Copies of this chain bind each other. A is one copy, B any other.
Amino acid sequence: MNNKLSFSSDYMEGAHPEILRRLLETNLEKTSGYGFDPYSDSAKDKIRAACHCPDAEIYFLIGGTQTNATVIGAMLRSYQGVLAPESGHISIHEAGAIEFGGHKVLTLHQKHGKITAEQIKDALNTYNNDVNREYMVMPGMVYISQPTEYGTLYSLDELRHISKVCRDNCIPLYVDGARLAYALSSPENDVTLKDMAELCDAFYIGGTKCGALFGEAVVIPKPGRIPHFFSIIKQHGALLAKGRLLGLQFDALFSDGLYEKIGKNAIDNAARIRSALRDNRYQMYTEAPTNQVFVIIDNERMQHLSEKVEFGFWEKYDENHTVIRFATSWATTEADVNNLIMLLAECGV
């Protein structure tokens, strides 16, 4: 809609063309609503296969906040809260959706968006050893994101430790995968969908930020883990009438390696931007290996850049510097990245 380069987020376009093609070619078919259609069935099968988890329950919801509120509300008992990094999406940017559902978000200090197994263990021990614990909110599950809000990744080893702490303490681990495609395609990633299915009690595979028009696929590896989840989804207003739209999109994403391709385009282009930033001696804010690139930039240069390119304003760093974000996606073109690299060189130190 304007002529600036745009790297402000990964959900500015519609959907990957393959998804639109599928919507178009099936448009006039009549199917049952609410996910009881063959496309949803097919998508579920493909996701189960991708997770090497043939018994997993799969549910398609529409957006991330909705998915988090619905899953977390379903997994907690009324007297429990959810442990989450203080930078977690549920901790800040969901307008209190978790509290609206009656639960406290119990925040832990984050480092580059991540929390550790040790922190979770400490929080659980602190609760368990507090003589007043019954007057406090019990930590009832753990929420993390892969990748995190800062684009960083949990390693398989880290995820295993977190999972072990959760299982030792009989509380579920839930992973928000709003940008999971960009984790799965990162060369630094060593956590597969199979690993997630083994280590988590629930997680979601993001569609909205990974090439779909909308949609998030909740994976519950152990069937029956959340009884009556369908009713809970309906109660949360999260059940799409024309459920096949979700099925079709995920069926496309999990056919012919599309989800990986979408991730790879974003990752490759983010790597090129990161490399150009380093070449021009910009100061990175995090060394995140996914599709989000966080840079510390002085305000004057930020102003200058912003005349030519759209990016995300992340947070104030100090009086004279700001953290900004460039995000890539399935739709990022080589040409746009080339232009951005030229601009970054011009504005470099």
Contact = CB atoms under 8 A, between A and B. Distances in A.
B137 A11 contact: no
Interface string A227-257: 1101110111111111011000000000000
A342 interface: no
Interface stretch (A96-104, A188-196, A267-275, A291-299): A96-104
Contacts of A12: 30-33
A29 B97 CA distance: 30
B102 A99 contact: yes
Given A13-B28, A28-B13, A99 B95 contact: no
A68 B136 CA distance: 15
A78 B74 contact: yes
Nearest to A69: B237
A244 to B, nearest CB: 8
Interface stretch (A19-27, A112-120, A160-168, A280-288): A19-27
B208 A241 contact: yes
| Chain A binding surface, main DSSP class | loop
Contacts of A157: none
A156 B242 CA distance: 32
B135 A95 contact: yes
A29 B228 CA distance: 40
Interface of A: 1, 6, 9, 11-15, 17, 20, 23-24, 26-33, 37-38, 62-70, 73-74, 77-79, 81, 92-97, 99-105, 131-132, 134-138, 208-209, 213-214, 227-228, 230-232, 234-242, 244-245, 313, 331
- In order of increasing CB-CB distance, the 7 nearest A-B pairs are A66-B237, A14-B27, A95-B234, A12-B30, A96-B137, A95-B235, A79-B231
